[in-house]
Amino acid sequence: MLTESTTLLVVGGGPGGYIAAIRAAQLGIPTVLVEGEFLGGTCLNVGCIPSKALIHVADEFEKARHFAGDSVLGIKVQSPSLDIAKAVDWKDGVVTKLTGGVAALLKKNGARVVKGWARIVDGKTVEVQPADGGDPWRISCDHLLLAAGSVSTPLPNLPFGGNVISSTEALSPAKLPQRLVVVGAGYIGLELGIVYCKLGVEVVVVEMQSRVLPAYDEELTRPVAASLRQLGIEVHLGCTVRGLNAAGNAVRIRNLAGEERELPADRVLVAIGRQPRTTGWGLEALGLAMEGRAVRVDAECRTSMRNVWAIGDLTGEPMLAHRAMAQGEMVAEIIAGKKRQFVPAAIPAVCYTDPEVVVVGLAPQEAEQAGLDCIHALFPFAANGRALTLESSSGFVRVVARRDNHLIIGWQAVGRGVAELATAFSQSVEMGACLEDIAGTIHAHPTLGEAVQEVALRALGHALHV
């Protein structure tokens, strides 16, 4: 069997893997990246980007349908319709443009891409089966970087197949179902459930916990729950899924009282989370230390085996593309001899529901549980001029800061367009800003960002617009 060698071998071409390969090549490290499917991984191909593209389609279609009614803006349109095939083609075009850009960047910086499936032989060797079916060969390396990502978590009594789909299939519908049951009210389930609802599908959501978006605090998710009711999405909380009925056209659920019922469904989206992709490619041959299903790493993303590194979803929560990117860049720089550690002050998380949710750092309850004496304040978008001009006055911005020195340790926001506030939130926490820093910074008027300044002022006890 043919064998070649390189300094750095990256397994997986998702956000973490391709960023690591680009940065390593920039630093003069001979680098090979092995990817069996498409560059960009889950995020670019069947996750972050295509879902946001369909969210845009759904928002625009809902807007058109709204204007077909009695709009207070005085805008009138006639009977809007949707060509779902054309919408999916547009979404795919966005994805293709971005993945093509990733390929160009890798080539430009001198990282070699191998299209094939990697199977680990040992900590220095990977066997590659070419995607085109050719003969396998081996690549040996000094450093092995594992960036295999994650997969959708299945339900044992509701396995994927037929009309039971994961988010991957939900993002490329050949046609829209009449009735969709979404199992799981986390961010993936709600984002896609809202998309399908806005496209005219009857959507029902089933969640085992007592409220939607259970990973977020209740005050933050209350506007989302209200929006679901307004959109007409039926939500069943505190319910477990028992499987499909005998005919396969309904989902059987059971509530806390033990009562069962059937929810008619043409299609069922199972969105109960994701898990590290740790099987099917020989990872077990390394005998690495694990944390549950995830590969255990230290602050430099080193595994328990020398010169074997792991990043991104493979290392567990939070499973976020931007976390993987930051880790990938760091590992490349460490291999190049730089001193780095992955110790961010906070990692932003954005939920693209309607309204959007942003979380950076600690929420008030989390700060209290950590034993910190903090103050927190909330500024409602109902008092923000820009929000009113966007017909979106629900939601708020919240800040959490230490009582003794006013150091900001957390931000949360819910409302239309608040995803774009994530950068300001993250920068303030990473740079160690205090409430006075934010309150004393002149914010442009009229913008949603004014709420950031206003909530800092309110936390200091002298709010101006509420």
Place of tokens 């389930």: 189
Same domain, 293 and 145: yes
User: In this structure, is residue 157 part of a structural domain?
Assistant: no
- Is the same domain home to 313 and 255? no
114 and 222 in a common domain: no
Tell me the residue type at 400. Answer: V
Single-letter amino acid, residue 329: E
Residue 406's pLDDT is 98
Number of domains in the chain: 3
Locus of tokens 């060509």 = 83
Whether residues 7 and 137 share a domain: the answer is yes
The rounded distance, in Å, linking the Cα atoms of 308 and 8 is: 10
Residue 291 CA: distances (Å) to CA of 19, 167, 281: 25, 25, 19
The answer on 260 and 114 residing in a single domain is no
Q: Are 241 and 357 members of one domain?
A: no
pLDDT tens figures, 326-348:
999 999 999 999 999 999 999 99
Mean pLDDT across 59-82: 92
Give yes or no: residues 258 and 181 share one domain. Answer: yes
Among the candidates 223, 254, 272, a domain finishes at: 272
pLDDT average, residue stretch 83-89: 97
Residue with tokens 């004393």: 440
Let me know whether 14 and 111 are in one domain: yes
Contact 236, 253 (CB under 8 A): yes
- Compute how many other C-beta atoms are within 10 angstroms of the C-beta atom of residue 440: 12
State yes or no: is 236 an active-site residue.
no
Q: Does residue 399 sit in the same domain as residue 444?
A: yes
Q: Is residue 56 included in any domain, yes or no?
A: no
Report which residue type is found at 227: S
Give the mean model confidence (pLDDT) for residues 430-448: 97
Residue 147's CB is within 10 A of a number of other CB atoms, namely 33
With the C-alpha atoms ordered 153, 157, 158, 159, is the resulting torsion angle positive or negative? positive
Q: Taking 90 as the threshold, does the pLDDT of residue 418 lie above it? A: yes
Instruction: Let me know whether 210 and 259 are in one domain.
Output: yes
3-state secondary structure (DSSP) of residue 74: coil
pLDDT of 69 strictly over 90: no
Q: What is the dihedral of CA 119, 121, 125, 128, to 10 degrees?
A: -30
Residue 215: inside a domain: yes
Q: How many CB atoms lie within 10 A of CB 336?
A: 16
Please give the mean pLDDT across all residues of the chain: 97
Q: Please give the pLDDT value at position 404.
A: 97
The distance from CA 117 to its chain's CA centroid, rounded to whole angstroms, is 25
* pLDDT average, residue stretch 227-233: 98
Q: Is pLDDT of 1 > 80?
A: no
Q: How many whole angstroms separate alpha carbon 178 and alpha carbon 20?
A: 43
Burial class (CB in 10 A: 0-12, 13-18, 19+), 23: buried
Distance CA 98, CA 290 (A): 33
Locate tokens 């004014």: which residue? 450
- pLDDT for res 333: 98
Q: Is residue 41 part of a domain?
A: yes
Q: Tell me whether residue 155 is in a domain.
A: no
CATH of the domain at 215: 3.50.50.60
DSSP string over 379-448: EEGGG-HHHHHTT----EEEEEEETTT-BEEEEEEEETTGGGGHHHHHHHHHTT-BHHHHHTSPPPSSST
pLDDT above 70 covers what percent of the chain? Answer: 100
pLDDT tens digits, residue range 26-52? Answer: 999 999 999 999 999 999 999 999 999
Is residue 156 in a domain?
Answer: no
* Residue 351, SS3 per DSSP: strand
Give 421's DSSP letter.
G
- pLDDT at res. 133: 87
* Radius of gyration in angstroms for the set of CA atoms belonging to the chain, rounded to a whole number: 24
Judge whether 354 lies within some domain.
yes
Q: State which residues form the domain around 256.
A: 164-272
Instruction: Write out pLDDT tens, residues 164-196.
Output: 999 999 999 999 999 999 999 999 999 999 999
Is the CB of residue 262 less than 8 Å from the CB of residue 181? no
> Do 294 and 417 reside in the same domain of the chain?
no
Q: What are phi and psi of 232, to 5 degrees?
A: 90, 20
Q: Do 377 and 455 contact (CB within 8 A), yes or no?
A: yes
Which candidate in 56, 66, 236, 445 is catalytic?
445
> Please, is 407 exposed, middle or buried when counting C-beta atoms within 10 Å of its C-beta (0-12, 13-18, 19+)?
middle
pLDDT of 245 strictly over 90 = yes
Say if 287 falls within a structural domain.
yes
Residue 464: the pLDDT is 93
Whole-angstrom CA distances from 344 to 24, 35, 145, 189 are 21, 28, 21, 28
Write the DSSP symbol of residue 337: T
Are residues 264 and 282 located together in one domain of the fold?
no
Q: What pLDDT does residue 70 have?
A: 83
Q: Which amino acid is at 454?
A: E
Q: What's the rounded mean pLDDT across residues 360-370?
A: 97
Q: Taking residues 304-332, what's their average pLDDT?
A: 98
